[in-house]
Amino acid sequence: MKCANCGNTDPATLWDEGDTIYCSKCCHRTLIETGEDDLVECPYCHELRDRKAAYCRHCNMGWDD
């Protein structure tokens, strides 16, 4: 397992969530299938945000999936 954002490979700080790996060092998720960041565009501010997050870290808006 490796974080696509920060390159972290420490198993004590990487969490397998089934389809993604969560890195507790940089708070990003990596898609297991592709090894890339799991990001989508926020429908409010249009910045990239974590697909599984309840709120956008840029504009603090929540949404329903």
Per domain, the residue ranges of the chain are 1-60
Please tell me whether the overall predicted TM-score, pTM, comes out greater than 0.75 for this model: yes
pLDDT along the chain (65 residues), means of 10: 96 96 94 94 92 89 73
Residue 53's pLDDT is 86
Distance between CA atoms of residues 50 and 24, nearest Å: 13
Residue 63's pLDDT is 73
Residue 47's pLDDT is 94
**C-alpha distance from residue 60 to each of 27, 50, 54, 56, 57 (Å):** 16, 12, 9, 5, 5
Residue 64's pLDDT is 64
Residue 57's pLDDT is 87
